[in-house]
Structure formats: C-alpha cells, structure tokens
C-alpha cells in the first residue's frame, strides 16, 4: 500500500470533516478561525466599521469574487480582490475559511477544489483571519497580534489600490516585491496592462509601466519626497516615509486618523488617482496622474525639458539645441536635444538648472556620504558623467550622478530641484564675464607662455623619439600621458605573478591576456603583445588611439599601457564574468543567463554601439562585434571590447572600402565580406547576428519555458523576445540601407508601442557562398581583390 497516498487521503478526509461542520460566521465579527467560514451572502466587518469583506460581482459581470470594500459609503469601491485571476461562476458550496496549519483558502465544496490560497509557509497552533480597520486582511495566531508576526497579510499582495499603512517596494530577504497591477477592465479584476512599482535600478524611483514600457515616472527620493511631487512640508496629509537599506526598500503613506478614508488607485486605462472621502461631496481627487501632457514619460526626448505653461510644451535645456530641427518643427521631439558645444572632457564645467523634476535615474550612481563638492569632483573625473545633484536635500548630503542622456525632465517650480549638467567651458557664464580679463592677463604673461611652450615642445619631441624607439607604435594621434597612464614593466610583472600561466585568462590575435592585481588591490586584465602576432602592432596602436578617448558604461575601460623594451601591453579593467561567449555557449554557465539578463545585455550592447556611431567624439566602426568581444562585469553588465581593427570616420564620411577584410565569419555583413565595404550598417549587421544568437541559445538549451510560459507571468518576457527577434532580423537584412541605425534600434528595443517594419531578405552567407563570390571577384577583377583574413566561427 502507498503510505504517502494513504496519508494524503486521510488528511483530505479530516479537512473534509472539518469543513462540513463549520458554522456560519456572525455578520458582526471581524474574525474567523478554523471552525468558521464565510459563504456568499456573509461578510466580515472591521472593528471600526470602515471595511467589509465578502463576495461581489464587478460592473456588469455575473462572476463572483472575494474582495474588500469600504462599508457604508455611496457606491462600492473595491480595494482588494483575492481570486482576481480565478472567477467563481457558481457560488453554491463555495466559502472562505482558515485551515489548521494556518492557511487562508477559498474552497469549492462541490469538487473539493481550492480556488485561491494564501500559500502560507509558516504554521501556528491557533490560526485566525482578521479584517483590520486599515483594510488589511491578516492571518495570525489568535494570541499574537504583532504585525511582524503575521503569517500573511493582504497588504503584501495588493491589487490596484494603495491604502494608508501599506508598503510599496521590496523585501530583499524574502525577494517579495509589493506593487500595483491594474484591473483588465471595469468588469474583470484580472491583472491588466499597467503596473505601478518602486524601481530599484540605479536609484529608487516610481515607475508606471505598460508592459515593460515606462508611461509615467515619479522622480527619485530626495530625503523629503519623490522629486517632482508636492512638497510634503507644505501639506502634512500627503506625508510619505521612505526606507532603504540592505534588507528592504519601500515607501509608505502612514495612517492618518484625521483623514482615514483615502486611497491611491490605478485604473485599467493607466490613470492613477489619490482620492479622499469628504462627507457631503464623496470621493475628491487629490492627485491625478497624468495631470498634463508633461507627465508623459520621455515626451521631449534626451536633454529636453517639458513645461506645461509653454506652447509647445517641449523645449531644449538652455545651451542645448534640437538634434533633429525639422522633426522638432513638426512637434516630433523623439530625437531630443544635444549640446550646442561639444564636450572636451578635460576642460568642462557645470551649469546649474533649477526647479526641475530630476531625470530618469535607472542609469545613475549614488553615494550617501559625499558632499556636493565631492560629488562635483567625482563627476568631473569621469568623462562619461553627464550631470550630478545632491542626493538628500533635507540633510544636504549625498551624491547622485548620471552617466547617459538626461531623460524625462520637466519644470516643476517651485517644488523642483537643482541639477548640475556638464557643459563645455565656453558655455560657462563666468567664462564670458572674464573673457576681457583673460585677454588682459594673457598680454602680461605672454613672455612666460612662450618660454613654457618652447619647453613643452622640447619635452614632447624627446618623448615622441623615445616612444618610436620603443617599437614605433604611436603617431601624432596618440593620447596625452594624462589621458592614458603608463605603467612600469616591473609593476605589471609583479601584478601578474611574472605572467604566470595560472594567471592567464585567454589568448587572441593580439596575444595572451593575464589577470593581475595591483598593489592597491585593484584587479586588472593585461593584454600582452605577442612577438609572433602579425596584428599586434597595429591593434595596439588602434586601441591606444581609440579607447583612451572613449568613455561609456558599455565599453571596456582602458586603464593604461606599458611600453618598455620590446614589451607592449594594454591594461584594462578586469571583468569577473569573462566574455559573453564563455557563458553563452557553455551548457552549465548559460543557466546564469535568464531572459532578463539576456535582454539587459542586448540593450547594453546596443547603447554602446550607439555611442560609438553617434555620441562619441570620434565616429567609430568596430568591425569585429561578436560574443567573445562582449565582456561581462560582476553584475552581468556588457562591455564592448577589442578595438584592434576598428576604423574612424571623419567629417561626413559614412562608408569606406578596404582590400584587407578582417573580422569573424558569421558576424560580418555580406557587403563587407564580398566587396570590402564597411560602414555603421555593417556593425548593425553584426549586432543583429549577436541578438539572434543570444535568443537562439535558449531554444538550443531546451529552455523555451524561460521565455514563453505565460502561466509563470512571463507574458512581457515573451513580448520582449519577439521584439528582440524582430529587431535582430531587421539588423541582418541583406541591403545595408534597409537596416536601421543604432539609435533606431535602441528606440525599438525600449518602446513596445513602436510599430516595427517587416524585415526583408536576410544577408546570411554560407561559407561556400562567400568563397565562391570571392573567387568570382578574384577572377573578374584581379586588381580589386580583397585580402581576406577571416576568423572562422566554431560550430555552436
């Protein structure tokens, strides 16, 4: 006999006996225990008579649900629903009760089926369910009413309404996130399209999303309130508390006895309202979101600012101009604004902008102990830093730094904040005011300047001669020593344990790569030129010239170089998770990459390429983008690496031709393989291959459930997967002109509402196709034959 089945059957039998003898609950009670039940027609009423729990039918629906609503008010306002995804079509024999282990269950007695359960894991001897006067339904031990000992509470699983005393945010210990999800419509409380939550990425802020696309954003917490909201010091009824530490992150509107009947509701159309009950007037809207057009997320594009008092509402920040003037004239602000004077990194200044809602902080960095001056210095040291501000305005401490374009700024004077945005030195007001004084000062010290200049040229000439003696790897485009530190050979040798084989990370066309640790404890990756490498000298020169001038969170950072004797080495930041291919194509390690991480990598690589093609001081074509050239830091953030064969475009140049085709077969665009033509669109092709590769490996590993299992709540993941595949196919179209730019790719990946065009024929070539085409080219036009150096992609 199966003992397990017998025990399970006996337990079910005891539960059945318990349920059939349950007495009906009194209509005046706020509590039920394991010997009581609530059927359709009975209710629980909180002790103060504020809230009621029972069965209801929403709107015009005949389906029945268990929910909580306000008692004795005009109209039924549902604030919580238990079985929102499992409607009851026949209420006969259906009831809510508490089982002995301590679980709140909604049961259909006709078929012994559990319709809904609290899924409580902890048990007590005498469990009860109680409806509190706050609207919170709690499950606890009858002798212990301390909130910290509740077995379960409805406040941890809200539907579309926030009540005073409810926490919105995260418990990092249990992994629980408390957030709102709208109803599907007025007749169906099932989860709808809109989600309201506290996003912890970068620095905490409130996001209202439709699927995965932001619709509205409340700025980051500034020590008093969320940036851009009403100043809590002006109206204490709207006071919020905010908690952020290693264990939890949440905000809460505390209960206020003077105004107990208030709620914050997310409706099925994406509108949010903060309402208060006023006798004689009913529900009065206190806050409405969106309140105006400027509440639309990212309406004015990057570096744009929205002011509802202006016409049109969108404008560029002072000292910025539209990136697309024609589109701006048509009220198409998608492309946003750019600085009218390009940054120079070394000589930049900061301009203060006041009275604004701080921009999106998902790509930001913060420090709670820095002063504002220390924050400025930190931002100035990093060429990728675009702006900074004070983190906590109540204590006048802390630092918040942005590293990318500033998105979703609006004017909210007088409740706005100050932000300090990086500008070229020529844009400084003090620069203009002191120009005459500067000219006068220069006149008086012209002699000293000439002497200093002569000395500088002499030193520079000697340094160039010295570098030529060290291998002839530099030319007039080399970076200054201040841009790229030079390391002694002894320092690098010591850091790598004399280039021990145990420190070796791998080897490429340039030479071996070693892990090292400097005396200060910083981990580094050392790329050592191989004497046998035919590419080493050119690659070394290319990387020094390019990477030293590029600063972006999705590009690997070059810390310096070492040139001594015949040794030529590049010193990089160390990437703990190695390259993407090491994880992606390993059966075990690939399990670390769920879809969210993969989509994060796709977006990061896209932003890095966009920076190379459009936003950097140089227009760079990488020419060898592939999985092995995407490195991953400790948080799985992608970093594009290996600029050994990259090319720079100048002026209006958009395309070039080479007789020496170098790269990796499978990732190279067909026009590059066959004709030697390369452009930004050939990088786009390589990106498309990488995207399809990242998605494809999940299917190859028999893990499609990571992507498409709707029952696990991955509908939005599935949408992202489909969109990623679609974008990947657009990127690998045969005709370069049909492929989107990287700015368009970033927009398509991040905006679910953008309608994507249908992809045309892809430009994939088999090995035979490539060699045949190359042979034909060699035969028919020997003088234009491309020298092909192709690294074959191993079978994956």
Write the CATH number for 176.
Answer: 2.90.10
Residues 527 and 597 placed together within one structural domain of the fold: no
Q: What is the reported pLDDT for 643?
A: 80
Judgement on whether residues 597 and 730 belong to the same structural domain of the protein: yes
Confidence band of 531 (pLDDT split at 50, 70, 90): low
The predicted structure's pLDDT at residue 18: 43
First and final C-alpha spacing in the chain = 50
Confidence tier at 417 by pLDDT (50, 70, 90) = very high
- pLDDT number for residue 699: 58
Same domain, 230 and 371: no
CA triple 743-747-748, angle to 5 deg: 115
Contact 302, 266 (CB under 8 A): no
Cα separation of 290 and 274, whole Å? Answer: 12
Higher pLDDT, 664 or 769: 664
Inform me whether the pLDDT recorded for 722 exceeds 90: no
Q: DSSP letter string over 669-687?
A: -HHHHHH-EEEHHHHHHHH
Task: Give the CATH number, domain containing residue 539.
Answer: 3.30.200.20
The answer to whether the CB of 40 falls within 8 A of the CB of 22 is no
Q: Determine the Cα–Cα distance for residues 651 and 636; give it in Å rounded to an integer.
A: 35
CA distances from 420 to 107, 317, 320, 341, 377 (A): 59, 12, 14, 16, 12
Q: What letter would DSSP give residue 612?
A: I
Distances (CA, A) of 424 to 19, 37, 353: 75, 71, 15
Highest mean pLDDT among 77-81, 561-565, 641-645, 698-702: 77-81
Q: How far is CA 509 from CA 14, 668, 791, in A?
A: 72, 17, 10
H/E segment holding residue 772: helix 767-780
| CA–CA distance, 768 with 791 (Å, rounded to integer) | 15
Q: Please, what is the average pLDDT of the chain?
A: 81
Residue 16 has pLDDT above 80, yes or no: no
The H or E element that residue 691 is part of is: helix 680-700
544 and 678 together in one domain:
no
402 in Cβ contact with 359 (< 8 Å): yes
**Last residue of some domain: 574, 606, 639?**
574
Whether residue 368 is found in the same domain as residue 342: yes
pLDDT at 586: 84
**Maximum mean pLDDT: which of 433-437, 636-640, 657-661, 662-666:** 636-640
Q: Are the C-beta atoms of 346 and 480 separated by less than 8 Å?
A: no
Closest CA to 609 of 436, 442, 731: 731
Share of the chain above pLDDT 70, in %: 77
pLDDT bin (cut points 50, 70, 90) of residue 120 is confident
- At 651, is the pLDDT very low, low, confident or very high (cuts 50, 70, 90)? low
Cα(687)–Cα(609) distance, integer angstroms: 9
What pLDDT sits at residue 468?
Answer: 44
pLDDT of residue 43: 95
Q: Three-state DSSP class for 13?
A: helix
Overall average pLDDT of the 346-355 stretch: 90
Q: Which of 134-138, 350-354, 662-666, 754-758 has the lowest mean pLDDT?
A: 662-666
Are residues 690 and 783 located together in one domain of the fold?
yes
Q: Give the CATH number, domain containing residue 69.
A: 2.90.10.10
- Between CA 621 and CA 626 the distance in angstroms is 13
* 445 belongs to a structural domain: no
For residue 656, give both structure tokens: 């070039």
Predicted TM-score of the model (pTM): 0.55
Catalytic residue (choose from 141, 188, 405, 624) = 624
Q: Is residue 257 part of a domain?
A: yes
- State whether 591 and 724 are in the same domain: yes
Reported as a pLDDT band with limits 50, 70 and 90, residue 134 is very high
| pLDDT the model gives residue 4 | 42
- Considering the domain architecture, whether residues 208 and 340 belong to the same structural domain is answered as no
Final residue in a domain of this structure, among 514, 543, 574: 574
Other CB atoms within 10 A of residue 452 CB: 11
Q: Which of 162, 138, 129, 132 is nearest to 50 (CA)?
A: 132
pLDDT tens figures, 48-88 = 999 999 999 999 999 999 999 999 888 899 999 999 999 99
The pair of structure tokens assigned to 315 is 């404008």
Q: What is the CATH number of the domain that holds 338?
A: 3.50.4.10
**466-513: per-residue pLDDT in tens?**
444 344 444 433 444 335 788 889 999 999 999 999 999 888 767 889
Here the tokens at position 607 are 């932003």
Q: Are residues 664 and 778 in the same domain?
A: yes
User: Cis omega before residue 290 (within 30°)?
Assistant: yes
| Start-end of H helices in 287-397 | 325-329, 372-381
On whether both 103 and 52 belong to a single domain, the answer is yes
Catalytic residue list contains 295: no
Adjacency order of strands within the sheet including 512-517: 504-507, 512-517, 523-528, 567-573, 558-564
Can you tell me the distance from the alpha carbon of 527 to that of 515, in angstroms, rounded to the nearest whole number? 9
Q: What is the pLDDT of residues 287-329, one digit of tens each?
A: 888 888 899 999 999 999 999 888 888 999 999 999 998 888 8
Q: Specify if 266 maps to a domain.
A: yes
| Residue 708 resides in a domain | yes
Looking from the CA of 734 toward its CB, the CA atoms found within 13 Å total 7
* Lowest-confidence pick of 167-181, 278-292, 399-413: 278-292
Strand-pairing partners, residue 117, are: 105
pLDDT at 463: 52
Whether pLDDT at 451 is above 70: no
Do residues 93 and 185 share a domain?
no
pLDDT for res 216: 94
91: containing domain = 15-157
Q: Tell me which of 23-27, 58-62, 87-91, 374-378 is least confident.
A: 23-27
570 and 588 belong to one structural domain: no
618-628 per-position pLDDT tens digit: 778 888 899 99
How many structural domains is the chain composed of? 5
Strands 241-244 and 248-252: antiparallel
Q: 3-class DSSP state for residue 451?
A: helix
pLDDT at 769: 39
Judge whether 10 lies within some domain: no
Confidence label for 401 from pLDDT (cuts 50, 70 and 90): very high
Q: What is the pLDDT of residue 70?
A: 95
Q: According to the per-residue pLDDT averaged within each range, which of 99-113, 609-623, 664-678, 740-754 is highest?
A: 99-113
């Amino acid at each position: 006999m199966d003992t397990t089945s017998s025990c399970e059957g006996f337990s079910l039998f005891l539960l059945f006996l318990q349920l059939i003898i349950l007495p009906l609950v009194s209509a005046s009670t706020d509590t039920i225990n394991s010997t009581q039940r609530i059927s359709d027609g009975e209710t629980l009423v909180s002790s103060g008579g504020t809230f009621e729990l029972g069965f209801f039918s929403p709107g015009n629906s005949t389906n029945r649900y268990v929910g909580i609503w306000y008692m004795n008010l005009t109209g039924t306002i549902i604030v919580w629903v238990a079985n929102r995804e499992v409607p009851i079509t026949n209420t006969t024999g259906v009831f809510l009760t508490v089982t002995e282990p301590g679980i709140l269950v909604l049961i259909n007695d006709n078929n012994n089926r559990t319709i809904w359960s609290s899924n409580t894991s902890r048990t007590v001897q005498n469990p009860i369910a109680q409806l509190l006067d706050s609207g919170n339904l709690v499950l606890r031990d009858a002798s212990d009413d301390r909130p910290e000992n509740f077995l379960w509470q409805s406040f941890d699983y809200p539907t579309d309404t926030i009540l005073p005393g409810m926490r919105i945010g995260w418990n990092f210990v249990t992994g629980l996130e408390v957030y709102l999800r709208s109803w599907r419509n007025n007749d169906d409380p099932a989860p709808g399209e809109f989600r309201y939550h506290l996003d912890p990425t970068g620095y905490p802020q409130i996001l209202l999303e439709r699927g995965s696309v932001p619709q509205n954003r409340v700025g980051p917490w500034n020590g008093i309130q969320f940036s851009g909201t009403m100043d809590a010091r002006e109206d204490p009824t709207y006071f919020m508390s905010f908690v952020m530490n290693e264990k939890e992150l949440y905000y809460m509107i505390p209960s206020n006895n003077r105004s107990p009947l208030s709620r914050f509701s997310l409706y099925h159309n994406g509108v949010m309202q903060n309402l208060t009950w006023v006798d004689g007037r009913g529900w009065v809207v206190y806050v409405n979101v969106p309140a105006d057009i400027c509440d639309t997320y990212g309406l004015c594009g990057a570096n744009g600012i929205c002011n509802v008092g202006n016409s049109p509402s969108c404008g560029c920040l002072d000292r910025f101009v539209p990136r697309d003037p024609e589109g701006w004239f048509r009220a198409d602000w998608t492309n946003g604004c750019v600085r009218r004077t390009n940054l120079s990194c070394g000589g930049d200044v900061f301009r203060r902008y006041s009275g604004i809602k701080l921009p999106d902080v998902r790509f930001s960095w913060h420090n709670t102990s820095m002063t504002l001056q220390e924050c400025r210095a930190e931002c100035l040291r990093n060429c990728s830093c675009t702006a900074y501000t004070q983190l906590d305005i109540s204590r006048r401490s802390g630092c918040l730094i942005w590293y990318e374009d500033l998105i979703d700024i609006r004017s909210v004077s007088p409740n706005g904040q100050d932000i300090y945005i990086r500008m070229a030195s020529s844009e400084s007001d003090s620069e203009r005011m002191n120009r005459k004084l500067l000219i006068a000062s220069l006149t008086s010290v012209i002699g000293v300047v000439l002497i200093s200049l002569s000395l500088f040229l002499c030193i520079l000439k000697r340094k160039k001669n010295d570098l030529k003696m060290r291998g002839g790897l530099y030319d007039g485009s080399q970076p200054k020593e201040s841009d790229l530190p030079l390391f002694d050979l002894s320092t690098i040798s010591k850091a790598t344990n004399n280039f021990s084989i145990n420190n070796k990370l791998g080897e490429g066309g340039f030479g071996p790569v070693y892990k090292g640790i400097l005396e200060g404890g910083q981990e580094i990756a050392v790329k050592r030129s191989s004497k046998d490498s035919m590419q080493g000298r050119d690659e070394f020169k290319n990387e020094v010239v390019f990477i030293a001038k590029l600063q972006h969170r999705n590009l690997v950072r070059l810390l310096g170089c070492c040139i001594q004797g015949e040794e030529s080495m590049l010193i990089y930041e160390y990437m703990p998770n190695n390259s993407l291919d090491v994880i992606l194509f390993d059966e075990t390690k690939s399990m670390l990459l769920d879809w969210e991480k993969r989509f994060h990598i796709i977006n990061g690589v896209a932003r890095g390429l966009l920076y190379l093609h459009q936003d950097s001081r140089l227009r760079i074509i990488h020419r060898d983008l592939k999985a092995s050239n995407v490195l991953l830091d400790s948080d799985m953030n992608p970093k594009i690496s290996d600029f050994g064969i990259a090319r720079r475009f100048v002026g209006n140049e958009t395309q070039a031709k080479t007789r020496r085709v170098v790269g990796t077969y499978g990732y190279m665009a067909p026009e590059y393989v066959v004709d030697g033509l390369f452009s930004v669109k050939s990088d786009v092709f390589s990106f498309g291959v990488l995207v399809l590769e990242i998605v494809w490996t999940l299917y190859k590993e028999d893990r499609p459930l990571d992507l498409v299992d709707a029952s696990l709540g991955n509908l939005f993941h599935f949408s992202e997967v489909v969109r990623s595949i679609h974008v990947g196919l657009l990127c690998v179209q045969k005709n370069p002109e049909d492929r989107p730019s990287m700015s368009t790719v970033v927009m398509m990946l991040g905006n679910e509402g953008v309608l994507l065009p249908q992809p045309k024929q892809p430009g994939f070539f088999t090995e035979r196709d490539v060699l045949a085409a190359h042979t034909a080219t060699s035969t028919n036009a020997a003088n234009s034959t491309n020298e092909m150096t192709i690294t074959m992609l191993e079978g994956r």
